[in-house]
A = this chain, B = another copy of it.
Amino acid sequence: MNDQLELNMDAYLPLRDVVFNTLREAILRGDLVPGERLMELQLASKLGVSRTPIREAIRMLEQEGLAITIPRKGAIVAGMTEKDMQDVLEIREALEELSVQVACDKITEEEIAELQKNMKNFEHSLKSGDLKKMAQADVEFHDVIYRATDNPKLISMLNNLREQMYRYRVEYLKNPQNHEQLLKEHEAIYKGIVEKDKDAVTEMIRKHISNQVAVVKHMIREQEK
């Protein structure tokens, strides 16, 4: 645990929420690695709070699938097997397809403009070589599509599914060979949405997702060793 865990206290939030966000981000960033134990007392002293908010945060992480607790033994950071990843991607594909289809119907002019802006922004970020920036720009591109669905439940599920593989996904961007392909796909998705061509855009998003599968799978296979 090399963690630089530290609480962001600026908000007037219950500690459980602050702890939850802190641990959540630490897990997604990889500061807390799969299998690592989440010990209440340890976390409590490290974060300078009591066990109570820690425990409540763990319950929340548990429901999000980021932690697994075994009664009377404690919680560990959830890891993903290759099978888990396959399962998640299967679901994600279905929901991403749904989201672009709904987006075709509901997207507004402003959102289309934003989508274009974020697409360009992603293109720039690729040139910058800054991985965090790329990942962020990619997220923002897809976020516009999510938001266009006007379905908060769907949005939160897609965000959750995306987060589940966030740890691995960054790797995908590390390889510049993927960049051109990625950009083309974004452009095709954008074009499809503008033209409201559901079939085309569905097909594109399907490719877009499944292109990531092989890479992520490979990484997990490595990790499982």
Contacts and interface: CB of A to CB of B under 8 A. Distances in A.
Interface string A52-87: 100110011011110000011000000000001001
Closest 6 interchain pairs by CB?
Answer: A63-B63, A94-B98, A59-B59, A87-B151, A87-B153, A56-B59
Contact of A91 (B16, B71, B72, B95): B95
Contacts of A59: 16, 56, 59-60, 63
Contacts of A55: 56
Interface of A, secondary structure class, is helix
Interface of A: 13-14, 16-17, 52, 55-56, 59-60, 62-65, 71-72, 84, 87-88, 90-91, 94-95, 97-98, 102, 151-154, 157
Contact of A71 (B14, B63, B72, B154): B14
A154 B98 contact: no
A76 B64 CA distance: 20
A90 B98 CA distance: 8
A152 B97 contact: no
Contacts of A84: 153
A91 B151 contact: yes
A97 B202 CA distance: 15
Contacts of A13: 71
Nearest to A59: B59
A114 to B, nearest CB: 22
Contacts of A14: 71-72
